[in-house]
Amino acid sequence: MKIINGLVFKEDFCFHKEDLYVENGFFAANTNDEIILDANGGYVLPGFIDIHLHGNSGFDFSKGEEEGLDHIADYLAGHGITSFAIASMTQPYETLKIAYKNAAQFKNSARKDTAQLLGINMEGPFFSSEKKGAQSEKDLQLPDIEMVKSLNEVANGLIRIACVAPELPKAMDFIQAVSQFCTVSVAHTAANYDVAKEAFEKGATQVTHLYNGMLPLLHRQPGVIGAAIENSNVKAELICDGIHVHESAVRAAFRMFGSERIILISDSLCVCGGEKKQYEFGGHLISVKNGAAVLEDGITFAGSTTDLFSCVKKAISFGIQPEDAIRAATWNPAEAVGAIKAVGSIANGKHADFLICDKDFSLKATYIGGNLVKKW
């Protein structure tokens, strides 16, 4: 395939007016294929990568429904997300074991016309009860290295991110050990600056949904946010749905961390793309009110009701440069889950996962492995 008349987003994080080639499902320097795709002056973007979502279209990964990941992946492909890391919730070991086994089976048998699973984001159960949010308090545990290793074995090595509150007993040992085989992310924590700083020095390199599930950045108590800003190895997830984080704080995050260290995520729940207004999630009843997914108290956010592509458009509407927002939804998440050699950018030899968008970033077509999976 030859793609013409497009503004191609390349690895220098700039747009280039040039032709693009796809050969046997990969970006290439040339092609013998006679098929020509006319982008009509629109943008050609790398496929978006969501490394933190729990579900959509009525399905929740942690429930362990065998058909769940099929539906979740189909929905993602239809919304410009070509690959993803599915996030689990704080659940008992046996419940997680079923979900993780399903993920391994899905990975081995996934169709080529749907979003591809890159791995698992283990969000819980090693969290502070003070900042648990929608996580199940009765299932919270102290950091357990062997539990992660066991679940990773069940998942055929699919755990790409493991989350932890670093103030918990033995958390530093956990960080040192687990960071040897996956990204460790600081999450749902009441840690102060000193504890967070030590966690990053021990090997944690990510912050889960910045601002949410942690103490605020204060001038005398900078907390996790202050420690993360100062460590150049640390990336920060950011939910840009217009509900979880005020637009001013979104702009501040990009200024504080730089576009190279922000990872846009959806943190979407089963309510995303679902028809019902109430769902059970993580042991809680969730309701959708004014676009937000909230617990029974009507105040506590449980996650988002939107998808990553919509979050990128929202970030751009907040004044984030398109190039920065796109990088935060492609290259940065691919790096975070160790997939940058295969996806996350348009470059020769990488999987030909790409989007065609109009000048207003309206999604026109999604291609995965060079094959059209959705067109508008």
Active site residue ranges: 267
- Closest CA relative to residue 71, chosen from 246, 318, 273, 255: 273
Residue with the two structure tokens 């990128």: 312
- Please name the amino acid found at residue 31: T
For residue 348, the 8-state DSSP code is T
Alpha-carbon gap, residue 3 to 324, rounded angstroms: 24
SS3 (DSSP) at 152: helix
Tokens of 341: 């050699």
- Please name the amino acid found at residue 277: K
How are beta strands 43-46 and 59-60 bridged, if at all? unpaired
* Contact (CB, 8 A) for 324 and 259: yes
Residue with the two structure tokens 């990964």: 61
Task: Give the Å distances, CA to CA, from 222 to 76, 226, 227.
Answer: 36, 5, 7
Alpha-carbon gap, residue 94 to 53, rounded angstroms: 21
How are beta strands 301-303 and 292-294 bridged, if at all? antiparallel
Alpha-carbon gap, residue 236 to 186, rounded angstroms: 10
Residue with the two structure tokens 């410009």: 80
Alpha-carbon gap, residue 185 to 203, rounded angstroms: 9
Q: Is 318 left (phi over 0), alpha (psi -120 to 50) or beta?
A: alpha
Residue with the two structure tokens 């089963």: 270
Residue with the two structure tokens 């069940």: 154
Alpha-carbon gap, residue 353 to 45, rounded angstroms: 9
Task: Give the Å distances, CA to CA, from 302 to 87, 236, 244, 274.
Answer: 13, 19, 10, 15
SS3 (DSSP) at 117: strand
